[in-house]
């Protein structure tokens, strides 16, 4: 979270045995506890539509200029003294495919109608459709491919819409989506949900402790697949939902992973440590019918994301995962804001503008001189994935009538 957004050196030292908990019964009357009053917001701190559109334009330009010749994004270049655990070549197959899928989604959602953007999407689509079937688990203990399966489903759904009227192409895309869902069934953790390490056994069915954020990421993608009437097996979805609920705390913060159930007040499991995860977990549960995730819960955690943003920002760009306060890792920064933007979409239209303006202001102030965004130095993947997250966030900060 999750995750580069896909890895954590801390997990190496925290490799506790993954065990499952009995699914807790839903408490319909539970409410999020804010702990603070919401301060008055100055409209001068909100981003304007013109500023957002300019930021999107610069982000698109960066992705177009950084695309690899084969149509993909990222690569195992630009290493540093401290690199995350990434067994070759499988880990990098997964990273490249996931980042490329994210860039495709970002370009489709922010498409300015230009020929350059269309051509870039076409090249990336050709690469992804050919490459996806080859992405597998890197080693018994490294399961980064789960990120690929989740983010590729989102990209494929958008590509399917883009090829409206081309039944042959749509059938191929549908086959790829079903294939990714099948892989998710294969790499599901024994306790339900998904993780990206298996340091316990390395068995065919991973004994990894599922993480709240990876499971949420995949559930959001599986919900999108339903637009095409493609559904994951119900038991797989139910086990994933149960896993997130086991990791949910009364204030709607979430444990990092199920292996931390005996340490619920460890720094990373407190609200400040959960700031980059709660948006994704709340969204996933709401999309899959959890009525406890009300507008009030979403609003509360959006306010927290903005008011306490420095807890995330202090970890941004630090080279060591989880070295910051509350064990926050840099790669949660733009991840958390993207899922926050998806939460904004769940709110009534008249409740969105202030959230959108604050969200956009935060991101625009952090855009790099070359038009990119990044939060964690990660081979050559960090700028493409950071920029993709930021673009997907900013398009959701534009007025609803756009």
pLDDT score at 401: 63
DSSP assignment, residue 114?
-
Is residue 303 included in any domain, yes or no?
A: yes
pTM over 0.95: no
pLDDT score at 41: 52
State the Cα torsion 29-32-36-37 to the nearest 10°.
-70
Nearest to 137 by CA among 93, 80, 182: 93
Cα 143 to Cα 120: distance, rounded to the nearest angstrom: 29
CA 196, 91, 1: angle at the middle one, nearest 5? 35
Is residue 165 included in any domain, yes or no?
A: yes
Is residue 39 included in any domain, yes or no?
A: no
Is residue 154 included in any domain, yes or no?
A: yes
**Axis-axis angle for helices 212-225, 333-346 (nearest 10):** 50
Token pair, residue 169, equals 């192409």
Is residue 36 included in any domain, yes or no?
A: no
Token pair, residue 361, equals 């202001």
Cα 225 to Cα 152: distance, rounded to the nearest angstrom: 11
Per-residue pLDDT reduced to its tens digit, 237-278:
999 999 999 999 999 999 999 999 999 999 999 999 999 999
DSSP assignment, residue 86?
-
Query: What CATH number does the domain containing 139 carry?
Result: 1.50.10.20
Is residue 351 included in any domain, yes or no?
A: yes
Cα 337 to Cα 360: distance, rounded to the nearest angstrom: 10
Cα 230 to Cα 234: distance, rounded to the nearest angstrom: 12
pLDDT by 10s per residue, the chain, length 402: 444 433 443 333 333 333 333 333 333 444 445 443 444 554 558 999 999 999 999 999 999 999 999 999 999 998 877 888 999 999 999 999 999 999 999 999 999 999 999 999 999 999 999 999 999 999 999 999 999 999 999 999 999 999 999 999 999 999 999 999 999 999 999 999 999 999 999 999 999 899 999 999 999 999 999 999 999 999 999 999 999 999 999 999 999 999 999 999 999 999 999 999 999 999 999 999 999 999 999 999 999 999 999 999 999 999 999 999 999 999 999 999 999 999 999 999 999 999 999 999 999 999 999 999 999 999 999 999 999 999 999 999 999 764
SS3 207: coil
Count of domains observed in the chain:
1
**Domain around 169:** 44-397
Tell me how far apart the 2 most distant CA atoms of the chain are, in Å.
55
Strands (DSSP E) along 48-89, which ranges? Answer: none
Cβ neighbors of 39 (< 8 A, separation 6 or more) are 307
* Other beta carbons within 10 Å of 115: 7
Is residue 14 included in any domain, yes or no?
A: no
Token pair, residue 239, equals 């086990």
Token pair, residue 101, equals 């899928």
Task: Please write down the long-range contacts of 177-181, taking CB distance under 8 Å and 24 or more positions apart.
Answer: 177/153, 177/225, 177/228, 177/230, 178/230, 179/132, 179/133, 180/132, 180/148, 180/149, 180/152, 180/153, 180/156, 181/149, 181/153, 181/222, 181/225, 181/230, 181/232
Is residue 187 included in any domain, yes or no?
A: yes
pLDDT score at 265: 97
């Amino acid at each position: 979270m999750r995750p580069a957004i896909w890895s954590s050196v801390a997990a190496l030292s925290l490799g506790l045995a993954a065990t499952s908990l009995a699914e807790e019964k839903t408490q319909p009357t539970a409410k999020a506890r804010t702990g603070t009053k919401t301060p008055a917001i100055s409209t001068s701190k909100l981003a304007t539509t013109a500023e957002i559109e300019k930021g999107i334009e610069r982000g698109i330009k960066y992705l177009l200029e950084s695309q690899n010749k084969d149509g993909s994004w990222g690569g195992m270049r630009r290493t540093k003294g401290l690199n995350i655990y990434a067994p070759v070549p499988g880990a990098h197959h997964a990273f490249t495919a996931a980042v490329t899928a994210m860039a495709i989604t970002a370009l489709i959602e922010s498409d300015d109608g230009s020929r350059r953007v269309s051509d870039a999407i076409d090249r990336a689509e050709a690469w992804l459709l050919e490459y996806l079937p080859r992405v597998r688990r890197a080693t018994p203990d490294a399961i980064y491919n789960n990120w690929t399966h989740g983010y590729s489903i989102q990209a494929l759904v958008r590509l399917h819409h883009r090829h409206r009227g081309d039944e042959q192409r749509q059938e191929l895309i549908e086959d790829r989506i079903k294939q990714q869902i099948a892989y998710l069934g294969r790499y599901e953790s024994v306790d339900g949900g998904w993780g990206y390490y298996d340091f316990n056994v390395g068995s065919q069915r991973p004994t990894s402790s599922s993480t709240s954020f990876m499971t949420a990421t995949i559930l959001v993608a599986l919900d999108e697949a339903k637009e095409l009437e493609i559904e994951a097996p119900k038991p797989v979805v139910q086990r994933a939902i149960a896993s997130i609920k086991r990791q949910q705390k009364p204030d709607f913060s979430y444990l990092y992973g199920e292996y931390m159930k005996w340490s619920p007040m460890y720094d990373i499991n407190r609200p400040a440590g959960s700031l980059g995860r709660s948006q994704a977990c709340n969204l996933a549960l709401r999309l899959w019918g959890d009525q406890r995730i009300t507008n009030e819960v979403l609003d509360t955690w959006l306010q927290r994301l903005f008011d306490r943003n420095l807890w995330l920002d202090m970890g941004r760009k630090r080279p060591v995962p989880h070295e910051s306060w509350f064990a926050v890792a840099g790669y949660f920064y733009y991840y958390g804001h993207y899922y926050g933007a998806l939460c904004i979409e769940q709110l009534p239209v008249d409740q969105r503008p202030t959230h959108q303006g604050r969200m956009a202001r935060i991101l625009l102030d952090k855009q790099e001189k070359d038009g990119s965004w990044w939060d964690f130095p990660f081979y050559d993947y960090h700028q493409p994935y950071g920029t993709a997250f930021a673009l997907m966030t900013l398009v959701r900060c534009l007025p609803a009538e756009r």
